Amino acid sequence: MTRVHVRAPGKVNLSLRVAALQDDGYHPLVTTFQAVSLFEDVEVGDTEPGAGISISVTGPHADVVPTDSSNLAWQAAELVAAAAGVDPDVHIEITKGVPVGGGMAGGSADGAATLVACNALWSAGLSQTDLSDLAARLGSDVPFGLVGNTAVGTGRGHLLTPAMSRADLHWVFAVRDEGLSTGAVYRAYDEHVGGPAHVSPDDDAALLAALRSGDAAAVGAALHNDLQAASLTLAPHLRRTLDLATEAGALGALISGSGPTVAALAGDLRHAHAIAAAWNAAGVADQVHLATGPVHGARIVTHVGPERHP
């Protein structure tokens, strides 16, 4: 049996700028992603002909992760099989390392990892561009799961431009078991804020300059999220989490994406532990995670067994 193990990272939005709702039902975005050292591990393996796709999930909150065709990993396997001209007979094992429902793109990382894994499993020969095109069909965050590191996303967030980052950043994440509906946050944003007509990467010039220079304090000062006010109208308790991070001396703190995860930027590892201790003492998070960034995108860890040609 051939088995391929791929690891892909979660992400934090260093900045998220959201334009007004368009006639096509989408909000044009400019977002700066950073991949962080919380990983999804995906292992795929051949099964008997005709067995189709199956998924098993382990790790924290695995019980709430779908194991049917609504899972992005399942959809990714179908896309690669169609491109390779093979039957999608594969078992997918997902080990969760990115918080479930925390807005850190764990599901998107699973999709990205499965694209890479199945491409190797079936010797499909898909290029990075091919995989990126398939990733964009799966969801706006999936292409970033392939490339990792730091990148600026435009359009729906899926059109990526790499961003240089000389800063090794220390992150602390406060995660809540009860999530926030992305749709509800965007509706609150439309109702209470509305958004500008246009957003541009130039709006994040200070952030991108801070990343290039490696100035973590300047990165912290430039963190930005247009959706934060809308998220706080739906989950006002997150304000206390943000305030505690500031009181603990965080270089910057924000709700990541549509939430409910709060991300705090620390000066170093010891400082990260101090922020985590403040959150834990106050009981403002169900889970607290420490991570660093940037890290690489989806990569093969092991590939065991013979190659199979379509």
Q: What is the pLDDT of residue 157?
A: 81
Rounded to the nearest integer, the mean pLDDT of the chain is: 94
The torsion defined by the Cα of 60, 228, 297 and 40, in degrees rounded to 10, comes to 10
Q: Any idea which of 179-188, 222-231, 269-278, 279-288 has the lowest mean pLDDT?
A: 179-188
Q: What is the pLDDT of residue 231?
A: 94
- State pTM to two decimals: 0.92
Cis peptide leading into residue 260 (ω within 30°)? yes
- Residue 139 annotated in ligand binding: no
pLDDT mean over 229-258:
96
pLDDT mean over 133-155:
95
- Residue 99 annotated in ligand binding: yes
Q: In angstroms, rounded to a whole number, what is the distance separating the alpha carbons of residues 255 and 125?
A: 39
- Residue 298 annotated in ligand binding: no
Q: What is the pLDDT of residue 196?
A: 84
| pLDDT level of residue 310 (50, 70, 90 thresholds) | very low
Q: Name, of 18-32, 172-186, 241-255, the range with top average pLDDT.
A: 241-255
Q: What is the pLDDT of residue 177?
A: 86
Tell me if residue 18 falls in helix, strand or coil: strand
pLDDT mean over 114-137:
96
Domain of residue 269 covers 1-310
Q: In angstroms, rounded to a whole number, what is the distance separating the alpha carbons of residues 166 and 218?
A: 12
Q: What are phi and psi of 24, to 5 degrees?
A: -80, 0
- The letter for the amino acid at 230 is A
CATH of the domain at 159: 3.30.230.10
Task: Just list the catalytic residues.
Answer: 11, 141
- Residue 294 annotated in ligand binding: no
Q: In angstroms, rounded to a whole number, what is the distance separating the alpha carbons of residues 246 and 264?
A: 8
pLDDT mean over 136-155:
94
- Residue 181 annotated in ligand binding: no
- Residue 101 annotated in ligand binding: yes
- Residue 85 annotated in ligand binding: no
Specify whether the CB–CB gap between 19 and 27 falls below 8 A: yes
Q: What are the tokens at 136?
A: 């964009």
Q: What is the pLDDT of residue 247?
A: 97
HSE, CB side, 13 Å, CA atoms: give it for residue 34.
26
- Residue 1 annotated in ligand binding: no
Percentage of the chain with pLDDT > 70?
Answer: 98
What does the pLDDT look like over 295-304, one tens digit per residue? 999 999 999 9
Specify whether the CB–CB gap between 146 and 112 falls below 8 A: yes
Q: In angstroms, rounded to a whole number, what is the distance separating the alpha carbons of residues 27 and 221?
A: 25
What does the pLDDT look like over 67-115, one tens digit per residue? 999 999 999 999 999 999 999 999 999 999 998 888 899 999 999 999 9
Percentage of the chain with pLDDT > 90?
Answer: 83
Q: Angle 81-57-123 (CA atoms, 0-180°, nearest 5)?
A: 25
pLDDT surpasses 60 at 152: yes
pLDDT mean over 199-210:
95
- The letter for the amino acid at 5 is H
pLDDT surpasses 80 at 308: no
DSSP H helices, the chain, are 72-84, 106-121, 128-138, 142-147, 182-192, 205-213, 216-222, 228-234, 238-247, 269-282
Q: In angstroms, rounded to a whole number, what is the distance separating the alpha carbons of residues 77 and 43?
A: 12
| pLDDT level of residue 178 (50, 70, 90 thresholds) | confident
What does the pLDDT look like over 7-65, one tens digit per residue? 999 999 999 999 998 888 788 899 999 999 999 999 999 999 999 999 999 998 899 89
Give the count of domains, the chain: 1
Specify whether the CB–CB gap between 52 and 261 falls below 8 A: no
pLDDT surpasses 60 at 309: no
Q: Any idea which of 138-152, 165-179, 189-203, 238-252 has the lowest mean pLDDT?
A: 189-203
Structure-token match 């943000």, residue found: 242
Q: What is the pLDDT of residue 43?
A: 98
- Residue 111 annotated in ligand binding: no
